[in-house]
Amino acid sequence: MSYERSRANTTRTTTVAANRRGLLSPTPATNRAYVDISQEQLAEIKEAFDIFDADHDGALDHHELKVAMRALGFDVHRQDVTSLITQHDTRGNRLLYYEDFKAIMTDKMIKRDPLDEIRRAFKLFDEEDTGRISLKNLKKVARDLNESIDEQELSAMIEEFDLDGDGEISLDEFIAIMRDEQ
């Protein structure tokens, strides 16, 4: 192996290691924020970017950004999206590239209130807005997700987490489940 090739490999390895530690960022505070979210969340951000980059140009336009943010659970409006693009459009082409998208989404995820996230998840189950999750709700969610869970298993889930014995999961019980307090 030539000296130049060996040096290039060493430099590449060092760069990758430094990037993993957040040492090579032009905005170190942003990279520190990546430490505060899980690898799963980072993967979700990347997946949303890749899925909603409809024209596969490596950037999100106004519509793609709005849809990607909504897919990640953020209720954004046109002016919010316009503002984000204006703030982060370093190339003047009204597009948002992955690194900026990742920084924005990381910041937003860090600022999320965990209790609000639990309430939002509860509402996905409680479509009828009754304040309770019933066996019927669980069946529908399982069906929507193409999960083949039989009624007996779903009933056992409710029974396990139904602290007041009424046959349904209340918001308080759901919060306890999600916080692993039951």
* pLDDT tens column, 13-33: 333 333 333 333 333 334 444
Domain coordinates of the chain in residue numbers? 30-110, 114-178
What is the predicted pLDDT for the residue at 181? 65
Residue 35 has pLDDT above 60, yes or no: no
Nearest alpha carbon to residue 118 among 56, 180, 33, 27: 180
With a pLDDT cut of 70, the percent of the chain lying above it is 80
Q: By three-state DSSP, how is residue 1 classified? A: coil
Domains 30-110 and 114-178 share a fold: yes
Task: For domain 30-110, give the CATH superfamily.
Answer: EF-hand (1.10.238.10)
What is the predicted pLDDT for the residue at 147? 86
CB atoms within 10 A of CB 87: 11
Pick the CATH number of 114-178 from 3.40.50.1100, 1.10.10.10, 1.10.238.10, 3.30.930.10: 1.10.238.10
| pLDDT digits 0-9 by tens, 123-153 | 888 989 999 999 999 999 888 888 888 999 9
